[in-house]
Amino acid sequence: MTRVFSGIKPTGHLTLGNYLGAMRRWASVDQHRADALFCVVDLHALTVDHDPARVRRLSRQAATLLLAAGVDPRLCTVFVQSQVDEHARLSYLLECVATDGEMRRMVQYKEKAARERDRGGSVRLSLLTYPVLMAADILAYRTDEVPVGDDQTQHVELTRDLAVRFNQRYGHTFTVPRATHPEVAARVMNLQEPSSKMGKSDDAAVAGPGIVYLLDEPDVVRKKIMRAVTDSGQDVLYDREERPGIANLLEILAACTGADPEALSGTYSSYGALKKETADAVVEVLRPVRDRHQELCADPSYVEEVLRDGAAKARAMARPTVDAAYRAIGL
Ligand code: ADP
């Protein structure tokens, strides 16, 4: 059976980008057709300035939202990364296979490091080695497929390179995984800055009004979408280069309604009409997630139990592979 692994970082409140780019597919497709693991990757949240209590709270919230989005622990394994030691154990071995040059070439590292420096802060070493830990997350489970948004393509490519290199040097140990992306909304853009992605981990200056959070009230969602930046044109055309704001709204609407963004573009006479329909569609898509999240919050012991069982299952799956890697590399 195909093995699927994917994760979500508890660095902020989950967004519509996380949902349309990744989580929704995990629930509707991946867990039904594959042996799937979904992980709240809390170690990754320590790569930038963090508040311990907030990380703990956001980890629990992310796990609860995964379940609220329809990820079903009877069909797949849901767990928190730091509860399974194998991730950190394997990460160190992969650091001995990766080079500092390839780490420094990672686009996300370059962007985030520049942001830290601009703020006058220092860059944590873990920000540089983050993709190695991500590779460990994936390779520990002999993963075949990694369903992610577009922004993670480079990291999955690096994971493939490390798996191939390790296997060549030390004997076949890892499955070489591949990334899969949704057909539509693989990169949802910030509504106020359609040149950057809608990311929960972005700094507050870009966040706020341009980001739809999964737990935003419906009227807040509507307001954010109605105020989305467009351009001074009139026609609703699907053109990601020339009209990124409108293309983003068309993609969001298409993803929410199962339509094709290009086909949708001909059906609206004004930007206002497109925005209104997009807002309605997003509110409808998020409604069951919010409702279920509220139900789950009333029963925190259930979420605890899911995560405890998930960690035990994940540990049992990862250990043989990580032990094999230790032997192969000479330990
Ligand atoms: P973030 O950038 O919000 O911190 P994560 O690194 O936790 O997100 O990513 C969790 C999943 O959500 C990944 O599969 C990632 O590719 C996806 N994702 C994040 N932001 C977006 C976006 N704006 N559009 C599409 N997918 C996204």
Same domain? For 98 and 42 the reply is yes
Closest by Cα among 46, 19, 8, 52 to 289 = 19
Residues 238, 322, single domain; the answer is no
Position 169 in a domain: yes
Looking at this predicted complex, what is its ipTM? 0.97
- Structural domain harbouring 86: 3-182+300-329
Clarify whether residues 247 and 308 are in a common domain.
no
Identify the pLDDT of residue 326: 98
**Do 152 and 25 fall within a single domain?**
yes
**Ligand 1 neighbour 18 (Cβ under 6 A):** yes
Tell the residue nearest (CA) to atom 16 of ligand 1: 149
CA angle 67, 277, 219 (to 5 degrees): 60
Q: Are residues 47 and 173 in the same domain?
A: yes
Quick one: pLDDT at residue 180?
96
| Among candidate residues 328, 325, 311, the one with its CA nearest the CA of residue 140 | 325
- The residue whose CA has the least distance to atom 9 of ligand 1 is 8
Q: What is the share, in percent, of the chain residues with pLDDT greater than 90?
A: 88
Contacts of residue 114, defined as CB under 8 A and 6 or more positions apart, other chains included, come to none
DSSP code at position 188:
P
Residue 105 lies in a domain: yes
Given a cut of 80, whether residue 266 has pLDDT beyond it is yes
Cα-based distances in Å from 203 to 18, 190, 207: 16, 12, 6
Q: Please indicate whether residue 197 is annotated as part of the active site.
A: yes
How far apart are the CA of 172 and the centre of ligand 1, in A? 31
Ligand 1 probe mutation, 9, 18, 145, 191, most atoms within 8 A of CB: 18
- Choosing from 197, 223, 275, 276, the catalytic residue is 197
CATH classification at residue 63 = 3.40.50.620
Query: What gap in Å lies between CA 291 and CA 285, rounded to an integer?
Result: 11
Task: Tell me whether residue 276 is one of the annotated catalytic residues.
Answer: no
Q: What is the pLDDT of residue 319?
A: 98
Mean pLDDT of 294-304: 96
Question: Pseudo-torsion of CA 68, 69, 74, 77, nearest 10°?
Answer: -100
Q: Are residues 265 and 313 in the same domain?
A: no
Say whether both 70 and 124 belong to one domain. Answer: yes
Residue 224 bears catalytic tag = no
CATH assignment at residue 240: 1.10.240.10
> What is residue 201's predicted lDDT score, i.e. its pLDDT?
64
User: Looking at the structure, do residues 280 and 138 belong to the same domain, yes or no?
Assistant: no
* 155 in contact with ligand 1, CB cutoff 6 A: no
Q: Quick one: 162 and 308 in the same domain?
A: yes
pTM of the model: 0.95
**Assigned domain for 218 exists:** yes
Residue 193 lies in a domain: no
| Ligand 1 centroid from CA 7, angstroms | 9
Mean pLDDT calculated for residue range 21-43:
97
Identify the pLDDT of residue 169: 98
Q: Give the CA-trace dihedral at 198, 203, 208, 212, to 10 degrees.
A: 30
Query: Residue 132: inside a domain, yes or no?
Result: yes
pLDDT of residue 200: 81
Taking only the tens place, the pLDDT of each residue in 61-85 is 999 999 999 999 999 999 999 999 9
**Residue of 200, 224, 276, 313 marked catalytic:** 200
Do residues 51 and 102 both lie within one domain? yes
Q: What is the band of 207 on the pLDDT scale with cuts at 50, 70, 90?
A: low
Quick one: 57 and 175 in the same domain?
A: yes
- The pLDDT of residue 232 is 79
Do 278 and 166 fall within a single domain?
A: no
Residue 60 lies in a domain: yes
Domains: count for the chain: 2
Please give the pLDDT value at position 231: 82
